Amino acid sequence: MKISEAGWRMISTCALLFSFGFTATADEPKIQRDRSVELGPDDRPAFAEPPAGFNVIRSDIPHGRLEMIEYDSKTVGVARRMNVYTPPGYSRDRKYPVLYLLHGIGGDETEWERFAHPEILLDNLIADGKAVPMIIVMPNGRAQKNDRPEGNIYAAAPAFETFERDLLDDVIPAIEARYSTFADAEHRALSGLSMGGGQTLNFGLGHLEKFAWIGAFSAAPNTRAPADLMPDPEAAKKQIRLLMISCGNRDGLITISQGVHAYLKEHEVPHIWHVDGNGHDATHWQNSLHHFLPLIFR
């Protein structure tokens, strides 16, 4: 029997939802806590719930702009796409810091915009004086010629590793050539959800000379072991400006983030460990991004 593309997508989506203990779709978030989730005394919220309206478009404030651009990827050998937010009043007369924001295993360069609206969150935070104007870059973290989330989405896991070179050698230079940016670690942040959370820890902690601000939400099993992520905690402490690790307490993948938190705590590496009541879902990602944005580039 031959399984169609759509069939594979359905099978992998079911496997994904089953493995995280989901009982409903993202539109209907009646998620039950996965019975395998065990919480420790540290596994608590570091932030209050976001205020009402934090994710609602306001007509009385200036808005940034989203544009889909192409860049030549030497790593992959094709032109690739990324979604770029520039803040209200973006001008070449000044320079901006840049947040690189990475999607999950079933996502692409449009996922954050569809799931969690970084542009709305940041417009609102900037209008309230709670975040600094910054550029947000949402690239495609599946660094292979066909980078659409098709077929067996797990089969593309190696391409999520390859993305390390695409990000460093192709994405960042393209952004810094095209936009008016600062170009040092102090003005670069890296963040992501799930597979992109794992990439954030792997590439961010692996390249602290490039990124000083790091936020990993619901990091997936692509995350390297803590001692590989940070073999020299003393050196890392000197370079990191902010390290935030977050996960929902209904997310069956929480053991990965718990392990990173335990290692950081053992080595006394300052970090924020935020565990809220969500699952492996867009609510956790949107809320976590809302908490992360005010803390960076300050």
What residues make contact with ligand FER under the rule CB under 6 A? Answer: 104-105, 157, 194-195, 220-222
Q: How far is the CB of 172 from ligand FER (least distance, A)?
A: 22
What's the rounded Cα separation, in Å, for the pair 235 and 207?
12
Only one residue has tokens 């935030």, namely 244
Choice between 187 and 280, CB closer to ligand FER: 280
Contact 86, 181 (CB under 8 A): no
Q: Which is nearer to ligand FER, 123 or 251 (CB)?
A: 251
- The DSSP code for 167 is I
The H or E element spanning position 271 is none
In the bound state with ligand FER, the residue whose beta carbon lies nearer, of 51 and 221, is: 221
Closest approach, Cβ 223 to ligand FER, in A, equals: 9
Residue placing its CB nearer to ligand FER in the complex, 118 or 141: 141
Sign of CA dihedral 17, 23, 28, 29: negative
Residue type, position 74, single letter? K
Q: What is the β-pairing status of strands 188-193 and 242-248?
A: unpaired
Phi-psi domain of 297 (left: phi exceeds 0; alpha: psi -120 through 50; beta: other): left
Least distance to ligand FER, CB of residue 79, Å: 25
Q: Considering only CA atoms, which of 156, 182, 171 is closest in space to residue 74?
A: 171
CB of 197 to ligand FER, least distance (A): 8
In angstroms, give the least distance from the CB of 170 to ligand FER.
22
Q: Which tokens in the block code for residue 282?
A: 């867009």
